[in-house]
Chain A
């Protein structure tokens, strides 16, 4: 796989390779959208293949592909996460809460995945992310 193209914001100067996941976001270095899309799809496909047979989301959240999406792609992944939720029913709710900081979208769903999904997709449309 080719290395993702990275571009710093104007005036920034950082050694990207040395910055761990969360700090990389603070360093204001962003991947190109097409790179995020490609990277997300590869990771999401891997994640689905390895975890769709599991009956515990806890196990899915610990998968390395899931961790990379959250920690490396970060907030840039949110539109793609929402699209995967819409098209593949991925259990992305924990990631969405973490990445958006919004804990009210699915509050009170009480295990109703369909309701949680509908609420996040509605939120995503309102935010013009999907």
Chain B
């Protein structure tokens, strides 16, 4: 059993590369924060550029769902593009999953944050967050593939207020 807070059959369809023993469940299901919030170390808000009152989005960030907008939003939290997801001491990386299609504003599916030990931490929608060894563990038809990486100094992460 994957036991992720998502129906089991759905979970196995969504994440065919996710295997028992290669991930750790690190929270119960919680619908109050999403993967974007979790990648920014925020467990108190749901990040989304909709403009709806129940959604948070940084004031200085573009309010749309395009790839450029997501990149600009992460830049407001001191992330800059980098080449890959290799563990580099002193750097906190994020990996943005994108599902390619006709609509350039329908591609974003997920963002994962790299832990200090090199594993990746992912909040699965309204379900659990997990730590997984491989970045490809969540790749597939549902989340798409990792499209780009960004990084910031871990000192910047420690200094960031989670509720700014």
Q: Does B19 contact A (CB under 8 A)?
A: no
Q: Which residue of B lies closest to A92 (CB)?
A: B54
Q: Is the CB of A57 within 8 A of B31?
A: no
| Nearest chain B CB to A67 CB, angstrom units | 17
| Nearest chain A CB to B112 CB, angstrom units | 11
Given the contacts A49-B7, A93-B53, A111-B56, A58 and B45 also touching, CB distance less than 8 Å: no
* Chain A window 110-124, contacts with chain B (Cβ cutoff 8 Å), 1 for yes, 0 for no: 111110100000000
Q: Is the CB of A57 within 8 A of B10?
A: no
Query: How many A residues touch the partner, as a band?
Result: 20 to 34
How many residues of B are in contact with the other chain, CB < 8 A?
37
CA of A110 to CA of B53 in the docked complex: distance in angstroms? Answer: 5
CA of A23 to CA of B144 in the docked complex: distance in angstroms? Answer: 39
Q: Is the CB of A106 within 8 A of B32?
A: no
20 A-B pairs besides A54-B125, A55-B111, A114-B44 with CB distance below 8 A are A49-B7, A49-B10, A52-B5, A52-B126, A52-B127, A53-B125, A89-B32, A91-B54, A93-B54, A94-B52, A106-B54, A110-B45, A110-B56, A111-B47, A111-B56, A112-B44, A112-B54, A113-B33, A113-B45, A116-B54
Q: List the interface of chain B (C-beta within 8 A of A).
A: 4-7, 10-11, 14, 29, 31-36, 44-48, 50, 52-57, 65, 108-111, 123-127, 142
Task: List 16 A-B residue pairs with CB atoms under 8 Å apart, sorted by A's residue number.
Answer: A51-B125, A52-B6, A54-B126, A55-B36, A55-B109, A55-B111, A55-B123, A56-B108, A58-B65, A89-B32, A93-B52, A94-B52, A111-B57, A112-B44, A112-B54, A116-B53
